[in-house]
Amino acid sequence: MIRATSIRLLTTPTIRAMSSTPKEITIIGGGIIGCTTAYYLTRHPSYSPETHRITLLEASSTSAGGRTPDSIQDPATLADPATVSKKNPAHDGIAGAASGKAGGLLAKWAFPQNIAPLSFQLHAELAKEHDGDRRWGYRRCNASQVELRGRLSPESGSAMAGDAEPVGSGAEKGTKGLHKDHRKNAKALQKIGAPEDLDWVDTDEALADYDEIGNTDNTAQVHPELFTRSMAQLAEDKGVRIVTGAKVTSITRSKDNKGVESVTYEKDGHEETLPATTCVVAAGPWTRLVLPEIPVTAARAHSVVIQTPRPVSAYALFTSIKLPVGFPAPTPERSRGTSSAAAQKLRGPQIVDPEIYARPDGTAYACGPTDNVVALPPLSADVEVDTGRCADIERQVGSISDELGRDGKVLARQACYLPQGGPWIGQVGDTKGLIVAAGHTCWGIQNAPATGKLVSEIVYDGGVKSARLGGCDPKLVV
């Protein structure tokens, strides 16, 4: 028998008292994790705009870092000239790092599995509530692992494409989609499992193997920059103060190290200090500058955005492309230059694995391997772009698709630093109110909503409720 006195119910006055407790919350970082955290803090039932002050600090004052000068700077204009995601000048600096230059793939099957399914569900809920299909390009899509044979372009200067057909045999005459002009090969295509609407991979000779990773039941996508900017704006609409160009220099803890007292930052040459009862560090690869005990590392990644001559079907392709003899050699791993390596030709076949994400705004995003050639700069505005590495990606994806190569137009060449080593979500050591949310690897966009929701529960409820922290708990390393 359960005694009535053993159950403690929170009365309405108690809940009101909890909500009215003053809180000074500072979020460090204007990327996807910081912005979704700000959003969910303002959506928690205990949030009170009268007694809870939330400030988001972003170190950079421009989002243009990590892009070449000729790159498009506002992708919102591609999707809808009148979109509400149009850049807010006061938010310049938001999504200036990896959050603005990622692929935007969402997957229920992503990792870590203790938070990925929750985050996938939250993405769908956010899109439904805030018109995400128009505002940030949310849609369901397919994901596949594909093996392809690259082809030489006429300007490559070689008559043979390794094991492929010789250049000049007709393969380069016009676009030949995978199925569009090759119905007679339907049985061969069915044998390798190729879907009929994947018609922007050129020629039936390019595709060697096809394996489905995800489908529209468990896979989706967003435009990461537009999603991040939308989260920031929605948070600001509910009372969050956003300050860009504010580089945090220190977090002051109490003398016994059991609590947070303030956050100090520099802006326009002046130092300012904010009182803080809670500090959420969501600074991505820059996290160790303010929390050296959290093992977040960084790796640079390059990508390009290509405008296709027609919208291409919704596929995320994890490729393995066999480049033929005579193909321009990829930039050497340790090379630190900004010029193309096109003068060097491959003397033997080489496998490369760019990822390609078709987007609903009439573009495709493609990214290459990471490198550690250039150290992480102080600000996202200072990220260095190696145009040679971007040219590698352009040539490689163009070798298997005219839509991405000859008939496409490159809109952006860019680079960013991926935060690695985590994700870490939760209280740092014994310091109450000091919370880390960083190190999300390539799944930062996917896992941002779950991270923001869990952080809001830590702040207002004293612990997570919606999922288990599991291996994400920073207590494992601090």
Compute CA distances 69 → 169, 215, 224, 290, 341, whole Å. Answer: 39, 36, 20, 31, 21
Alpha helices in 280-319 (DSSP H): none
Question: Tokens in use for 288?
Answer: 């160790």
Question: Tokens in use for 384?
Answer: 């260095």
Angle (CA) 454-460-462 rounded to 5° is 75
pLDDT, tens only, 385-398: 999 999 999 999 99
C-beta of residue 295 within 8 angstroms of C-beta of residue 421:
yes
C-beta of residue 399 within 8 angstroms of C-beta of residue 445:
no
Three-state SS for 444? helix
Question: Tokens in use for 264?
Answer: 């100090």
First to last CA, the chain: 43
Question: Tens of pLDDT along the chain (478 residues)?
Answer: 333 333 334 444 444 444 568 899 999 999 999 999 999 999 999 999 999 999 999 999 999 999 999 998 888 777 665 665 677 889 999 999 999 999 999 999 999 999 999 999 999 999 999 999 999 999 999 999 999 999 987 655 443 333 333 333 333 333 333 333 333 344 554 566 778 899 898 756 688 899 999 999 999 999 999 999 999 999 999 999 999 999 999 999 999 999 999 999 999 999 999 999 999 999 999 999 999 999 999 999 999 999 999 999 999 999 999 999 999 999 988 877 655 545 689 999 999 999 999 999 999 999 999 999 999 999 999 999 999 999 999 999 999 999 999 999 999 999 999 999 999 999 999 999 999 999 999 999 999 999 999 999 999 999 999 999 999 999 999 8
Return phi, psi of residue 466, to 5°: -85, -15
Distance, in Å, from the CA atom of 397 to the CA atom of 411, rounded to the nearest integer, reads: 15
The length of the chain is 478
Return phi, psi of residue 35, to 5°: -75, -40
Give the CA-trace dihedral at 205, 208, 213, 217, to 10 degrees. Answer: 30
Question: Tokens in use for 28?
Answer: 């460090």
Domain boundaries, the chain: 12-139+221-295+421-476, 142-215+298-418
Pick the CATH number of 142-215+298-418 from 3.30.70, 1.10.10, 2.60.40, 3.30.9: 3.30.9
Contacts of residue 116, defined as CB under 8 A and 6 or more positions apart, other chains included, come to 107, 108, 109, 110, 443, 446, 447, 450
C-beta of residue 478 within 8 angstroms of C-beta of residue 294:
yes
Three-state SS for 422? coil
Contacts of residue 427, defined as CB under 8 A and 6 or more positions apart, other chains included, come to 433, 434, 435, 458, 474, 475
Burial of 44 (0-12, 13-18, 19+ CB in 10 A): middle
Q: Which fold, 12-139+221-295+421-476?
A: FAD/NAD(P)-binding domain (3.50.50)
Residue type, 173: K
Distance, in Å, from the CA atom of 372 to the CA atom of 301, rounded to the nearest integer, reads: 9
pLDDT, tens only, 24-63: 999 999 999 999 999 999 999 999 999 999 999 999 999 9
Three-state SS for 298? strand
**Residue recorded with tokens 């340790």:** 334
C-beta of residue 178 within 8 angstroms of C-beta of residue 201:
yes
Contacts of residue 14, defined as CB under 8 A and 6 or more positions apart, other chains included, come to none
Distance, in Å, from the CA atom of 386 to the CA atom of 404, rounded to the nearest integer, reads: 20
Contacts of residue 64, defined as CB under 8 A and 6 or more positions apart, other chains included, come to 73, 96, 381
pTM for the model: 0.88
What b/e readout covers 157-166, taking b as 16+ CB neighbours within 10 angstroms? ebeebbebbe
Give the CA-trace dihedral at 272, 23, 31, 476, to 10 degrees. Answer: 110
Sign, CA torsion 60/64/65/66: positive
C-beta of residue 311 within 8 angstroms of C-beta of residue 141:
no
Distance, in Å, from the CA atom of 40 to the CA atom of 28, rounded to the nearest integer, reads: 15
* Element containing residue 133 per DSSP (H, E): helix 132-135
Residue 190: per-residue pLDDT = 53
